[in-house]
């Protein structure tokens, strides 16, 4: 529609007789057309005169009082609302009880109710989604922790398997050397076996060792021509058993004596503690 088309609708608009579609189109046009707004005011003036065709009637005498009473109630309601923001309102708080008016309950149409139900339903759906996400997140987190635990366990099992395989290979090697170590007076029930190959790769398997104090461990020594060469340190388990993998110095691989002493856990360069295990010379 063009401007003139809208002008054709103004008289009917003043009578509120336009159908919804035309009324909507005209309302949109009126928002931006001062000329039509002005003309509509004139048409409304004309339409208002039709009211005078109705016969004047006197309302009941009580109505005037009711009107003024409702206006006073409205005025008090507004005054009460102002009291909540005006300075000093607190000092009049004692008057509030007697001046409180019941609020008019808002009319809730079908659409309003449907919108409310829709909002509630949407909130429930969002809540359910959040809960589902939390549950999913927790399950995924638990699964990841389980996966990490299994992975760690598998690595330990693999390391153990590799170690045992190395021990077997060493013991079954055709050039393997074996040296038995016996317990001294400090560890009479202990004994050990040291296996090593021609490359010096050695495995010590000890049994029956006494428990060691905190910060201490058993250190392996390679002794040749009264020269004591330090090996690695290990701590036995609760049963007194321990395994140590080490590399024997080349000079100590033939006709050497092997011994175990109690030393600081970090190891020392010369033995300081008692001998617990020693091989035959």
Partner 1 sequence: MPPQEQGSDVELLHAVARGDEGALARLYDQYRVILFGLLVRILNSREEAEDVLQEVFLQVWKRAKDFDQLRGRPFTWLVTLARSRAIDRIRQLGARQRLADSAAQNASGEASDAVTDTLHSEQREIVARALAALPEEQRHTLNLAYFEGLTQSEIAQKLGTPLGTVKTRMRSGMIKLREVLGEETKSLLGPTSL
Q: Which residues bind partner 1 (CB under 8 A)?
A: 8, 11-12, 14-20, 41-60, 63-64, 66-68, 70-72, 74-75
Q: In terms of CB distance, is 43 or 186 closer to partner 1?
A: 43
Nearer to partner 1, 32 or 60 (CB): 60
Query: Of 261, 241, 237, whose CA–CA distance to 186 is shortest?
Result: 261
Q: Which is nearer to partner 1, 75 or 189 (CB)?
A: 75
Q: Which is nearer to partner 1, 7 or 207 (CB)?
A: 7
CB 59 → partner 1: shortest distance, Å? 4
For residue 192, the SS3 value is strand
Least CB distance to partner 1 at residue 39 (A): 11
Q: Please, what is the minimum distance in Å from the beta carbon of residue 13 to partner 1?
A: 10
Tokens of 235: 């701590």
Measured at the CA of 116, the angle between CA 112 and CA 119, to 5 degrees, comes to 135
Sheet holding 242-247, edge to edge: 227-234, 216-224, 257-264, 275-279, 177-183, 191-196, 201-207, 242-247
- Name the 3-class secondary structure at 121: helix
Closest contact distance (angstroms) between CB of 125 and partner 1 is: 35
CB 62, min distance to partner 1, A: 9
CA 278 from centroid of its chain's CA atoms:
57
Nearer to partner 1, 67 or 251 (CB): 67
Nearer to partner 1, 17 or 129 (CB): 17
Q: How far is CA 115 from the centre of its chain?
A: 34
DSSP for residue 179: E
What values do phi and psi take at 236, rounded to 5? -75, 165
- The distance of closest approach from Cβ of residue 99 to partner 1 in the complex, given in angstroms and rounded to an integer, is 16
Q: Please report how close the Cβ of residue 56 comes to partner 1 at its closest, in angstroms.
A: 4
- Count of residues making up the chain: 281
- Which lies closer to partner 1 via its Cβ, residue 26 or residue 202? 26
Report the phi/psi class of residue 190: left, alpha or beta, with left for phi > 0 and alpha for psi in -120 to 50: beta
- The DSSP letter of residue 142 is H
């Amino acid at each position: 529609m063009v401007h003139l088309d809208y002008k054709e609708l103004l008289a009917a608009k003043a009578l509120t007789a336009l159908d919804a579609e035309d009324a909507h189109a005209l309302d949109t046009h009126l928002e931006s057309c001062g000329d039509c707004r002005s003309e509509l005011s004139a048409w409304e003036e004309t339409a208002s005169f039709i009211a005078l065709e109705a016969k004047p009637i006197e309302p009941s005498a009580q109505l005037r009082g009711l009107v003024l009473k409702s206006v006073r109630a409205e005025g008090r309601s507004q005054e009460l609302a102002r009291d909540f923001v005006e300075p000093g309102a607190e000092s009049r708080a004692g008057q509030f009880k007697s001046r409180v008016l019941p609020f008019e309950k808002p009319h809730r149409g079908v659409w309003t109710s449907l919108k409310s139900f829709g909002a509630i339903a949407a909130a429930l759906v969002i809540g359910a989604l959040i809960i589902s996400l939390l549950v999913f997140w927790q399950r995924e987190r638990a699964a990841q922790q389980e996966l990490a635990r299994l992975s760690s366990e598998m690595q330990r099992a693999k390391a153990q398997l590799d170690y045992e395989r190395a021990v077997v290979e060493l013991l079954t090697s055709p050039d393997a050397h074996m040296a038995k170590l016996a317990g001294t007076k400090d560890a009479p029930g202990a004994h050990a076996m040291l296996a090593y190959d021609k490359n010096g790769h050695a495995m010590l398997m000890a049994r029956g060792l006494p428990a060691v104090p905190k910060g201490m461990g058993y250190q392996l020594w390679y002794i040749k021509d009264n020269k004591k060469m330090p090996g690695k340190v290990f701590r036995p388990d609760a049963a007194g058993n321990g395994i140590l993998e080490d590399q024997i110095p080349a000079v100590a691989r033939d006709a050497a004596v092997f011994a175990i002493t109690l030393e600081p856990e970090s190891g020392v360069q010369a033995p300081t503690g008692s001998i617990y295990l020693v091989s035959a010379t």
